[in-house]
Amino acid sequence: MKDKKIAFIGVGVSHTDLIKLFLKKGLNVTVCDKKTAEQMKEYEELKAAGAAFSLGESYLDGMAEGKYDVVFRTPGMYYNNETLTQARLHGTAVTSEMEVFFDLCPCPIYAVTGSDGKTTTTTIIAELLAAEGVTVHKGGNIGRALLPIIEEVKDDDAAVVELSSFQLISMRKSPDVAAITNIRPNHLNVHKDMQEYIDSKANLLLHQNAFSRAVLSYDNETARDLSPLVRGQLAYFSRFEKPENGAFLADNGMLCYNDYGKVTEILDMKDIKIPGMHNVENYLTAIAVTWGKVKPETVRKIAKEFGGVEHRIEFVRELDGVKYYNNSIASSPTRVIACLNTFPQKQIMIMGGSDKGISFEPMADLVCEKVKLLILMGQTKEKIKAAVEASSKFADSGLEIIIVNDMAEAVNTARAKAKEGDIVSLSPACASFDMYRMFEDRGNHFKSLVNAL
């Protein structure tokens, strides 16, 4: 990177510490961001450290003509963006924090992708390995950027990373152990089409070698169909079948591993602290990923203790006999379905947000069956309402739909309508960008409003 002009697109989780590291190394860094200097909270600190800036609406000026030698794109910027395409044609190296981390990482890398479940699964894998005494560096699409700490990573550590389709689309190196939890329609407002989304996920497997391991969902056909791409050892996880090599849920409720005919019972699903069948799947994935590295008793210990990840069916509080759950991560219908199937009773559910270009029809029947009051807000409120009302189960459901203007009105409406024994969940089925910067901001706002009731 010496004597190169380096641009970072976006100052966010994946770039702030990395920019500081590059400046500390004396490298020539330009920060490119739509925000103005006044809007950027890191501006003064980065300026004092020696960064140059290209800000505001013209933040990409000159990039397409090859103004920079190296460009680090934020995952939020689509790889096939016209400006980046032109920059590459002019000789610019367009890369990302995660790509360079994969190039330089000295330790084994465990990586998880999927439409649903990847954050919790990644976290469980990290917890399991750490409980076995391994120094774990968790990051990627979750937590923190790992490239800034690359000099601290040792050969016998483990990097456990969650990767999104936006990160994977340009990756040309795959992890030592790869897991794909499932592939369902998602982010189709950004990706060219469903095939490009699937192809992005497939990059997790495509560049593995013969000594690698890949774990695929047997129950999700789109993920299972990627099995011919696997170069090393292939393992599956399944709730419904007993794979030749992989983790499965037995009829008696035990999570087991079948190692080519040798079956090991690992734990009872009743011992998993975090609720929901989707979390049984997350543990099956983690068991398959860490098989041979983590002892069954370690899995049992973590399953009994691990309380889940923030914003994922996260219990907020109980007030007047009503339980409130923050499920802000539920940015797609399949994630909403997981929440609906977690609890036996009908829920009061807050939904709506920005449009990702995916259909709400897959969740409509279950919403009619398992929701008593649907509170809708945001850009997609009418689209969700239309999908639910079009369900053949709507007429006899007794489901009430209320449209509100914002989160505060949604929470107050839920409070007014809820009775003792009810469950209120924020499960938006949509991205957050119509009202919030990130799904975390949405979840934190919901929690603050609930805690203030």
pTM over 0.85: no
What's the pLDDT score for residue 186? 60
What's the pLDDT score for residue 194? 85
What's the pLDDT score for residue 170? 87
One-letter identity of residue 366:
L
155 and 267 co-located in one domain: yes
365 and 412 co-located in one domain: yes
Q: In the listed set 273, 305, 337, which residue is the last one of a domain according to the structure?
A: 305
Counting DSSP H helices and E strands in the chain, the numbers are 15, 20
| Buried/exposed 27-55: b ≥16 CB within 10 Å, e otherwise | bbbbbbbebeeeebebbeebeeeebebbb
Q: In the listed set 78, 95, 112, which residue is the last one of a domain according to the structure?
A: 95
The torsion defined by the Cα of 442, 444, 450 and 451, in degrees rounded to 10, comes to: -170
Residue with tokens 């000159």: 62
CATH code (residue 103): 3.40.1190.10
What's the pLDDT score for residue 79? 86
Tell me how far apart the alpha carbons of residues 137 and 150 are, in angstroms, rounded to a whole number: 10
Tell me how far apart the alpha carbons of residues 214 and 326 are, in angstroms, rounded to a whole number: 32
Tell me how far apart the alpha carbons of residues 354 and 430 are, in angstroms, rounded to a whole number: 6
114 and 231 co-located in one domain: yes
Do 349 and 427 form a contact (C-beta atoms < 8 A)? yes
Burial of 434 (C-beta count, 10 Å sphere; 0-12/13-18/19+): middle
CATH code (residue 322): 3.90.190.20
What's the pLDDT score for residue 137? 97
Q: Which residues contact 426 (CB under 8 A, 6 or more apart)?
A: 325, 326, 327, 328, 330, 349, 350, 410, 442, 443, 446
127 and 192 co-located in one domain: yes
Burial of 395 (C-beta count, 10 Å sphere; 0-12/13-18/19+): exposed
What's the pLDDT score for residue 115? 85
142 and 279 co-located in one domain: yes
Do 177 and 287 form a contact (C-beta atoms < 8 A)? no
30 and 122 co-located in one domain: no
Do 175 and 140 form a contact (C-beta atoms < 8 A)? no
Residue with tokens 């980046």: 84
234 and 376 co-located in one domain: no
Phi, psi of 27 (to 5 degrees): -85, 160
One-letter identity of residue 42:
E
Q: In the listed set 95, 117, 138, which residue is the last one of a domain according to the structure?
A: 95
Each residue of 170-213: pLDDT tens digit?
A: 899 999 999 999 998 665 566 667 888 999 999 999 999 999 99
Each residue of 62-103: pLDDT tens digit?
A: 999 999 999 999 888 888 899 999 999 999 999 999 999 999
Q: Which of 181, 283, 186, 192 is nearest to 226 (CA)?
A: 181
pLDDT by residue, tens only, the chain of 453 residues: 999 999 999 987 779 999 999 999 999 999 999 999 999 999 999 999 999 999 999 999 999 999 999 999 988 888 889 999 999 999 999 999 999 999 999 999 999 999 888 889 999 999 999 999 999 999 988 878 999 999 999 999 999 999 988 899 989 999 999 999 999 866 556 666 788 899 999 999 999 999 999 999 999 999 999 999 999 999 999 999 999 999 999 999 999 999 999 999 999 999 999 888 989 999 999 999 999 999 999 999 999 999 888 898 898 999 999 999 999 999 999 889 989 988 989 999 999 999 988 899 999 999 999 999 999 999 999 999 999 999 999 999 999 999 999 999 999 999 999 999 999 999 999 999 999 988 999 999 999 999 999
82 and 150 co-located in one domain: no
What's the pLDDT score for residue 187? 58
Total number of domains in the chain: 3
Domain that holds residue 388: 314-451
SS3 category, 88: helix
90 and 103 co-located in one domain: no
One-letter identity of residue 14:
S
154 and 134 co-located in one domain: yes
CATH code (residue 57): 3.40.50.720
158 and 81 co-located in one domain: no
126 and 49 co-located in one domain: no
What's the pLDDT score for residue 185? 66
